[in-house]
Structure 1
Amino acid sequence: MRKLKINIVFGITVLLLGCMAKLPEIVATIVTEQTPHDTDDPAIWINPKDASKSIVFGTDKDTDGGIYAFDLKGKIIKNKSITNVKRPNNIDLEYGFKLNDSTKVDVIAFTERERHQIRLFSVPEMNPLDHGGFKVFTDVTEPEFNLPMGIALYKSSKTERLYAIVGRKAGPMEGYLYQYEIVSDSLGVHANFVRSFGAFSGKKEIEAIAVDNETGIVYYSDEKHCIRKYYAEPSMGDKEIYCFGGEYFKQDIEGIAIAKYEDKGFLIVSNQQSNTFNIFDLKTNVFIKEINLGTTETDGCDVTTESLGSAFPNGLFVSMNNDRNFYFHDLATLKLIE
């Protein structure tokens, strides 16, 4: 009996130590310069003329906030950065937005929480395309229901239409996300409301949103509940496809990045309070592994599998760190493909 008790105690001790063991850190290739206030979410723009001159944009979340542009050495590019932004939260990027019959531009879109709007700028010119901002959630009256946080751009492979899918600080149990079509006409660029969709557990908030343009699927973090999966294409309806992965997170489910190869895809999601990332199979939603990239309390992240020259020949993973900066990892170090 005494031997049995000793074995049980030993087994519990080993289990607890195993749970407490820290994963080995995958050291960042580059750590960026610091922003003035509070980093939150990045977006990677790939320069079509020279990938080694690509830019990483990152939000600096404050009343006196901004969008900071970084080169691949992690240095701030002042003339590509945007300041005097009232609490920018999340950012996303899309290529080839049609301004008119002959002009296409790459664009970044980001939320400006304290002005209750989203912003749209051309890249790399950094010209505003939004007449000062597009107001969102204009039909709500509840406190915090009109404070935009998360944003993802979706370019339909069926219609070439560009959409912004926007989350907020708080919202209803159904219809938490609003989707807007970004259109251009003789009077300029506009954001037209298309639909509200998306369930919410009510446990915390919905911020991180990412879209797979190829399949037309949107993923978002219901922070203390699960990763939710819907159709981004409005014509496919508002029914939830899956709610998965919540059991693999300590508390908050945060930033989402989609890494796609020719025959395989991955969902990389911040496990915020564990200071790690969980990786799932994009097609099956199956959990693959957890990794430690050295960041603390990560909110947003972004990824590209394309080579960015000699600095990041295997692609780039960017993640927010709680020390007012971003970490750049050569994508091969995450060992998605082994």
Structure 2
Amino acid sequence: MRAVLTVVALAAAFAARAQVLPTIPPGARDVAAVPGGWLALEKNALQLVGGDARARLPIRGRQLDVRRDGDGALAIVIDANAERAVPVRVAGGTLQALPPLPETGFGIEAACLYRDAQRLVHVFLVAKDGQAEQWLLGDGAAPARRMRRLALPPNVKHCRVDDADATLYVAEEGAGLWAYRADAEGPPARQIVDLTAPFGRLAGGAGALAVLPGGVAALDDKGILHAWRHADGRWLRLPPQAGKRGHLAVDGEGRLLAQDASGWRSVPLGLKAPSLPAALPVVLPRAQTEPVARAGDAADDPAIWRNQRDPAQSRILGTNKKQGLLVYDLQGRQTQLLEAGRLNNVDVRQDVAFGAERFDLALATNRDENAMVLFAIGGDGVVTEAARLPTELAEIYGTCLYRPASGGLDAFVNDKDGRYLHYRIERQDGRFAARVVRRFRTASQPEGCVADEDSGQLFVGEERRGLWVLPADAERAPQLSMVLPVGGLLAADVEGVGIYRAPGGSYLVVSSQGSNSYVVLDARAPYRVRGAFRIGLNAADGIDGTSETDGLEVTSASLGGAYARGMLVVQDGFKRLPDGPQNFKLVAWEDIERALDLPR
């Protein structure tokens, strides 16, 4: 009884402070604020009202969501007859229905918009049985394209997205309110915001939703308004308010509106938008490779081979942990598949001298045999297996190559237990062989490494701790020194490491897997950090961004065209636009220079 009295008292106090908004048609099923007025979704039409605006779009619609765009807005409505999502442009006091999205093959119960960090607009479409799709809306020049399929709870009646922290809220009838990742990159993830009694405070589940600065609000089946403040990945309940009806909205100032018996009223909640970390600059991929031929966690590490006679005919080598070695051209087309077993990491060195013989060589770690697989690369970019070299390791993992000043080739290979073996690759009687010349270890699991032949340094990544440096020369003691610990811009896991070699200053590029980003720092002490960036969605060319990158490679050699100043190649942990097996993304170095304002 005390809880009921408290709700009633709160409702009375709220009613005394609330402001009735007379411009919204009383018969509106759903409303949304737009510049200069309101969109009101009624039984058989979408109306633009307020001020001098009086526009009407006939449609038997349900669900309404809006994103402002300067002096106009973009809305999404579900055509209930056709079961199609219809974008609507709001501009100059008019409503223009844009081409509907393609048929999904399911009845649409809920729809909501999302504007990502690149200001691109997406729409989520949800079926009654939990099927859902995320679409990238077109900009007039390109049609809408499906980003991914995802699984949501059954009986979702409403959804809304908080663009500021990329959180998708879905209200499950009879169960509660859930929060999902709205960003298509990365693995699916969800959290409980609140549940129905007796597990939570909601009566009969969550209904209408509204996203507010710093929080979210929802109505339950008894017309009680619940609100939560969102901070540090947690949702803190605010006092509930009774006496509401079936819909919520947010005005142009970010204030909550709710329906009661008298119409639409504002609801003061006292929420404040949280301060968010500054967004990292975004660079766009120029191309992507064809997906690998195995689903799941398959693609891992790339390497770059430069065609000395015709740089445009250079090749990208990539490992498939479930199949072998893939070879691509610079347009991302697969030219070869060498089914050499479960290969994890790969590296390339060109013009390697063994006496009078010279080779372009790639070396990959084979997890089936705990061996090194050596490949020869012909002048035309054709790759052939040259040797299998056993190791002492129990779980071989990462590798990188080094050309000593005295000639020949060294290989560093590591084990998941932290061990590193430094091998000397030799040529004997027309055959390749390997022997251990040095040993060292990290305290926990390593993987990525890169050797700088200009400075004679070896950089190794320890996934949970950071980036280390030690002498690459086999004759020197392997004393590790910390270059960049995990924290700040570098988030665990520390994965791929590459070096951009340039006369004016060389840079290390490190995959910060935990933040889906890439850190750039000087390759010479004191290892100044130049910044970090993300690889975003190239909507014009239909290439998704990257996330959870394992391996990467970078070169400063000119490969022609967009890659005249070099190229970065990264593994993409989640292929989107549309969903598919993993692949590799190609980035022009000049785009990174521009994003981080690097000296040229």
Measured against the shorter chain, the TM-score band is 0.7 to 0.9
In structure 2, what is the Cα distance between the partners aligned to 1:260 and 1:188?
32
Pair 1:58 & 2:318 matched: yes
Give ranges in structure 2 of 5+ residues lacking alignment: 1-231, 233-270, 536-544, 576-581
Aligned residue in 2 for 1:257 = 498
For each residue in 1:84-105, what CA deviation from the matched residue of structure 2 results, as whole angstroms up to 9, or x when unmatched? x32100000011223552x211
Pair 1:40 & 2:294 matched: no
Aligned residue in 2 for 1:309 = 560
In structure 2, what is the Cα distance between the partners aligned to 1:43 and 1:270?
15
- SS of 2:309 mapped into structure 1: coil
Identity of counterpart residues, as a percentage? 25
In structure 1, what is the Cα distance between the partners aligned to 2:530 and 2:472?
25
Deviation, 1:236, is: 1.9
Aligned residue in 1 for 2:283 = 26
- SS of 1:233 mapped into structure 2: coil
Q: For 1:260-275, what aligned pairs fall within 5 Å after superposition?
A: 260-275=501-516
CA 1:256–1:182 in structure 2 vs 1: closer, same or farther (change >3 Å)? same
Q: Please identify runs of 4+ aligned residues in structure 1 that moved more than 3 A.
A: 12-17
Aligned residue in 2 for 1:168 = 415
In structure 2, what is the Cα distance between the partners aligned to 1:297 and 1:67?
21
Aligned residue in 1 for 2:401 = 153
Deviation, 1:69, is: 0.6
- SS of 1:114 mapped into structure 2: coil
Q: Which protein is richer in helix relative to its size? A: 1
Aligned residue in 1 for 2:453 = 213
Q: Aligned match of 2:384 in 106, 117, 127?
A: 127
Q: Which protein is richer in strand relative to its size? A: 2
The structure showing larger relative contact order (alpha-carbon pairs under 8 Å, at least 6 residues apart) is 1
For each residue in 1:262-311, what CA deviation from the matched residue of structure 2 results, as whole angstroms up to 9, or x when unmatched? 02011110110211011111112222211011311001111111111124
- SS of 2:283 mapped into structure 1: coil
CA 1:14–1:117 in structure 2 vs 1: closer, same or farther (change >3 Å)? farther
Q: Contact (CA 8 Å) 2:353, 2:407: kept in 1 or not?
A: no
Q: For 1:1-338, what aligned pairs fall within 5 Å after superposition?
A: 17-19=275-277, 22-37=279-294, 38-62=298-322, 65-78=323-336, 81-83=337-339, 85-101=340-356, 103-124=357-378, 125-130=382-387, 133-137=388-392, 146-157=394-405, 159-171=406-418, 176-186=419-429, 188-198=431-441, 200-202=442-444, 205-248=445-488, 249-283=490-524, 284-293=526-535, 294-322=545-573, 323=575, 324-335=582-593, 337-338=598-599
- SS of 1:273 mapped into structure 2: helix
Q: Contact (CA 8 Å) 1:206, 1:222: kept in 2 or not?
A: yes
In structure 2, what is the Cα distance between the partners aligned to 1:118 and 1:66?
13
Q: Contact (CA 8 Å) 1:114, 1:147: kept in 2 or not?
A: no
Q: Contact (CA 8 Å) 1:72, 1:311: kept in 2 or not?
A: no
- SS of 1:234 mapped into structure 2: coil
CA RMSD of aligned residues (A): 2.1
In structure 1, what is the Cα distance between the partners aligned to 2:481 and 2:514?
27
- SS of 2:439 mapped into structure 1: strand
CA 1:254–1:186 in structure 2 vs 1: closer, same or farther (change >3 Å)? same
**Residue type of the alignment partner of 2:432:** V
In structure 2, what is the Cα distance between the partners aligned to 1:14 and 1:315?
45
Larger Rg: 2
**Residue type of the alignment partner of 1:281:** D
CA 1:96–1:18 in structure 2 vs 1: closer, same or farther (change >3 Å)? same
In structure 2, what is the Cα distance between the partners aligned to 1:319 and 1:262?
24
Normalising to structure 1: TM-score of the pair? 0.85
In structure 2, what is the Cα distance between the partners aligned to 1:17 and 1:29?
33
**Residue type of the alignment partner of 1:271:** S
In structure 2, what is the Cα distance between the partners aligned to 1:245 and 1:290?
15
Normalising to structure 2: TM-score of the pair? 0.49
CA 1:186–1:32 in structure 2 vs 1: closer, same or farther (change >3 Å)? same
CA 1:287–1:16 in structure 2 vs 1: closer, same or farther (change >3 Å)? farther
In structure 2, what is the Cα distance between the partners aligned to 1:15 and 1:222?
37
CA 1:191–1:332 in structure 2 vs 1: closer, same or farther (change >3 Å)? same
Q: Which moved more, 1:107-116 or 1:308-317?
A: 308-317
